[in-house]
Structure 1
Amino acid sequence: MSELAKKTIADLAPLVESKELSPVEITEAVLKRTKEYNPTINAYIDINEETALEAAKAAEVEISNGNYKGVLHGIPLALKDILNFKGETVTYGSKIHKDFVPDFDATVVTKLKEAGSVFTGKLNMHEYAWGATTDNPHFGACRNPWDLQRNPMGSSGGSGAAVAADMTIASLGTDTGGSIRMPAAACGIVGLKPTHGRVSKYGCFPLSWSLDHIGPMTKTVEDAAILLEYIAGYDEKDPTTIEKPIENYSNYLTGDIKGKVIGIIEDYFFQEIDNGIEKTVRDGIKQLESMGATVEVIKVPSLKYAMFAEYITILAESTTIHARNIKIRPNDFGEDVRLNLKLGMVPSGVDYLQAQQIRRMIDLEFVRAFEKVDVIIGPSLPVAPPTIGIDTTSQGVRLSCPANLTGLPSISVPCGISEGLPVGMQIIGPAFKETEILNFAYALEKTNPLNGIRPSFEEELNKSII
């Protein structure tokens, strides 16, 4: 039964629909694995065993009665603990909200509930999503299933680790500077940050209003496409959403990239990169070339200011959000988050507006770049995920933040192994062209870049038992 937890949405859905497999069986398999490995990996803040099994039984009855709702019906998911669930404790990874019970669901939660998903629990995260280690001072550090001494990056580290360790079939994370794509790369899974405005953020606790995104974290590209189909769409409760038709993203996964043009920004995405990571990503690009794509070196000059714009924006906006609590109860924040929130009092109005002008320049330069190329490709992370206790947030964010500043869709997909750890390739596309980046990622995935290599945590644990 434990093998069921290792399967994907696309694997399981047809078996559930045909009644060959029960949602209860799948949920029990996921919960069994979660209870066995969470004490070590610490991907979950809260495991909802009783309510998950009740929901799975209800889904089984609905399906037996001919009321099959679609591919997510009866599929167990666990989400980052930053999304509101009505009537359930939601902590946002913090001490301040450790007993918070919202009276409404996040829009994405509502959509997944309507699709019949089963929720097995809330996943660990960097406190208030303000960091990239998931070394949480209130709920404990999350560990990387590929190397238990390393962190899974963040802030959606619990989501990355849970998916990689098969402690959930799939998940959602949030991304403000790379918090979906960095843990996806570190944990050897797929992480998709959609276009800003493609997915409602209503009911998601904000880190930085203008930079935040919600997106899928999954075992495969196809599963990312499936999840996006369910969570995308205009929401009148979120004024940043844009009214565009929802596409059947999974229908575009042909793997045909012949004649497509890949843009490479050598002087940004391939600067100060670990040698093994650079080689692995470049080898992945060669694979895509062998499928008929061509490569063109392009320039986005204003990217040299991207880190300034990212940090000024996130500092100013996050400190505004937490202004009251950082004044009256600063010691209830973890040390790193407390420091960041106090730093957010430093930037001036001039600094903030300059950062927004830089964002506009970068945005225009990307628009011009996409007149020449179909996608832009580079590494997702410049270095391997560090050991627990070491913070490399600024290094990681450097490669992922341009897609947050511009709001462009971006995906991290595994492209190989370097020194025993997975390497992520980042694929950026034009606004609302999720179909393009998903298909490129699918083409690469079909080459089996990880060569069947899986996370090593089970072997590590077995050795320690022996």
Structure 2
Amino acid sequence: MTDWTRSTAAELADALANGETTSVELTQAHLDRTAAVDGAVHAYLHVDAEGALAQAEASDARRAAGSPASRLDGVPIAVKDVLATQGLPTTCGSRILEGWIPPYDATVVDTLRRAGLPILGKTNMDEFAMGSSTEHSAYGPTHNPWDLDRIPGGSGGGSAAAVASYQAPLALGTDTGGSIRQPGAVTGTVGVKPTYGGVSRYGLVALANSLDQVGPVTRTVLDSALLHELVGGHDPRDSTSIDQPLPDLVAAAELGATGDMSGVRIGVVKELSGEGYQPGVLARFEESVELLVKAGAEVVEVSCPTFVHALATYYLILPAEASSNLAKFDAMRYGLRVYPDGVDAPSAEEVMRATRDKGFGDEVKRRIILGTYALSSGYYDAYYGQAQKVRTLISRDFEAAFAKADVLVSPTAPTTAFKLGEKLDDPLAMYLNDLATIPANLAGVPGISVPSGLADEDGLPAGFQVLAPALADDRVYRVGAALEKLLADQWGGPLLAQAPTLDGVAR
């Protein structure tokens, strides 16, 4: 009997097209897998077994009639709990939205439904996507399937863990400062941040409007290309959406899978390696670059001096936008409402204060305070205004670098997954995990993280990041797929095949 949970999304789509299985069988297999292992992983906040199976039955009926809605029709998917889902809870990992059921779908969710992908459930995340470890969820942390005592990355650790533990072949995440790519790196999965505006943000509960981007989480580069092509494109309901067709991402991934890198110029970013990076992570990165060179790529070193200021810039812009976005959670319209103790007739302001105190976690409060301060009278120009100027300089550094190279590369994250609780009391140390991913969000350029191997120190996954100019998403897929092919040939199969068993359940 075939274990369909081990198949890629592309393989599942082909099996459905060839009549080898049904969507109901695939969906039930992944639901069974979740029942077996998610008690240990906690990738999901809500599993919609009934709804997913009903969608799977409808998919099977379409295929029987010879009219599938898309190539991925019938392939199940998980969705990060920051995306609005009509009829399903959307909590953003926060108590303040506990029990909220949106009356509408995010555009990307609506696209998934119309394309026939059964939605397995909503995945765990740091509260309002604020975090680098998925330890800041109000509903408890997600665990890394490679080592249940370690973090799965953040803020989209639930989506990455669901894919890495074979609970879903595909997932959607969001990337504000690395929240798709960094979890991908530490769980041995593929994570893609599309060009800003390349995938609709309508129905995404905003953390920082100028930084957030929806993207795919998968086990292969081709699967990411298939999902990206499905959900990408212009959306008139999103004012930040780019009215321009996507490049052929699937063709780029298929070209890259030949392993031929002839004519591709790869820029190694000087500022995104060295001090602060784990030796094993750097070793896997350097080996990956060498493989690409052997495959025909030309490598040059590029310098982006303002990247050293990206972290500070990000942690002024993001809290400022977050403090504004989260002001709407005021207990007046929807979500949690808490009445202050000992007050017989509390005012609206007192109810708001009590609700936000109980409903928001420490990290959210920390960033609201930072953002409010940065936007306050007398400090706006000194902090937020200056950060926006540095952001412009970072974009100019990208432009100069892309004049010398087709893509830029670096380790995705400075270290492998750290232990749960290890950095909770040190927010600055936690923020450093996004050191290499943040510049792409500040400039709006696309990026991919591909597994680069296991670090010698701990045997845990490391990631290789590829960045490309805005709207040139196809380049990250070509280079990512090439590296994936070259490394798989070297390893004798995918990196996830090297993972240990999960809580006694064979992976």
Query: How is 1:8-407 mapped onto 2 (pairs within 5 angstroms)?
Result: 8-253=8-253, 254-255=255-256, 256-323=260-327, 325=329, 328=353, 329-347=356-374, 348-350=379-381, 351-391=383-423, 392-407=429-444
Contact 1:148 1:457 in 2 (8 A): no
Contact 1:96 1:333 in 2 (8 A): yes
Query: Deviations for 1:202-261, whole angstroms, at most 9, x for unmatched residues?
Result: 000001000111100001000000011111111111111111112331112212321211
Structure 1 partner of 2:345: none
**Paired amino acid for 2:471:** F
**Structure 2: how far apart are the matches of 1:89 and 1:127?**
15
Contact 1:376 1:427 in 2 (8 A): yes
Please say which of residues 97-106 and 339-348 is displaced more in the overlay. 339-348
Residue 143 of structure 1: CA displacement? 0.2
Name the SS of the counterpart of 1:172 in structure 2: strand
Please say which of residues 276-285 and 331-340 is displaced more in the overlay. 331-340
Count of residues in correspondence between the two structures: 464
Q: Does 1:441 align with 2:472?
A: no
Residue 137 of structure 1: CA displacement? 4.6
**Paired amino acid for 2:437:** S
Query: Deviations for 1:404-453, whole angstroms, at most 9, x for unmatched residues?
Result: 00000000000111131111000001111111111100000002165545
Structure 2 partner of 1:416: 453
**Paired amino acid for 2:196:** H
Contact 1:190 1:220 in 2 (8 A): yes
Name the SS of the counterpart of 1:34 in structure 2: helix
Larger Rg: 2
Structure 1 partner of 2:343: none
**CA separation of 1:129 and 1:270: change in aligned 2, threshold 3 A:** same
Residue 293 of structure 1: CA displacement? 0.6
Contact 1:145 1:456 in 2 (8 A): no
Please say which of residues 414-423 and 135-144 is displaced more in the overlay. 135-144
Residue 385 of structure 1: CA displacement? 1.4
Q: Does 1:430 align with 2:430?
A: no
**Paired amino acid for 1:283:** E
Residue 383 of structure 1: CA displacement? 1.1
- Uncovered stretches (5+) of structure 1, i.e. residues with no partner: none
Contact 2:207 2:318 in 1 (8 A): yes
Contact 1:415 1:450 in 2 (8 A): no
Residue 71 of structure 1: CA displacement? 1.7
Please say which of residues 1-10 and 255-264 is displaced more in the overlay. 1-10
Residue 357 of structure 1: CA displacement? 1.0
Contact 1:146 1:455 in 2 (8 A): no
Residue 460 of structure 1: CA displacement? 5.1
Contact 1:147 1:456 in 2 (8 A): no
Name the SS of the counterpart of 1:399 in structure 2: coil
- Uncovered stretches (5+) of structure 2, i.e. residues with no partner: 331-351, 424-428
Give the alignment's Cα RMSD to 1 decimal. Answer: 1.7
**Structure 2: how far apart are the matches of 1:45 and 1:101?**
13
With the length of structure 2 as denominator, give the TM-score of the two structures.
0.88
Name the SS of the counterpart of 1:345 in structure 2: helix
Contact 2:136 2:363 in 1 (8 A): no
Structure 1 partner of 2:496: 454
**CA separation of 1:138 and 1:268: change in aligned 2, threshold 3 A:** closer
**Structure 2: how far apart are the matches of 1:208 and 1:438?**
26
**Structure 2: how far apart are the matches of 1:420 and 1:88?**
38
Contact 2:271 2:305 in 1 (8 A): no
**Structure 2: how far apart are the matches of 1:82 and 1:196?**
17
Identity within the alignment, %: 36
**Structure 2: how far apart are the matches of 1:258 and 1:205?**
42
Contact 1:417 1:450 in 2 (8 A): no
Contact 2:247 2:473 in 1 (8 A): no
Contact 1:146 1:456 in 2 (8 A): no
**Paired amino acid for 2:430:** T
Name the SS of the counterpart of 2:436 in structure 1: helix
Residue 340 of structure 1: CA displacement? 2.0
Please say which of residues 295-304 and 172-181 is displaced more in the overlay. 295-304
